[in-house]
Amino acid sequence: MEVQWDQDEAHTCDAPRPEYWISFDTKEEAEAVIELLERLLHEQT
């Protein structure tokens, strides 16, 4: 898993969005993390 700061994107994009992106080696890895984040989000509400 790799987290990178995209400074150009952060300065040129007007829409509110994170200034970082995460790339995954496999689709399964990405889906597992998304599932985990969704579960954490539901637990907090």
pTM of the model: 0.45
Amino acid identity of residue 40, one-letter, is L
pLDDT at residue 38 tops 70:
yes
Number of structural domains in the chain: 1
Beta carbons within 8 Å of 1's beta carbon, 6+ residues apart: 22, 23, 24, 25, 29, 33
Domain enclosing residue 28, as ranges: 2-44
Distance from C-alpha of 11 to C-alpha of 18, rounded to nearest angstrom: 12
pLDDT, residue 23, reads 78
Beta carbons within 8 Å of 22's beta carbon, 6+ residues apart: 1, 2, 3, 33
Amino acid identity of residue 16, one-letter, is P
pLDDT at residue 6 tops 90:
no
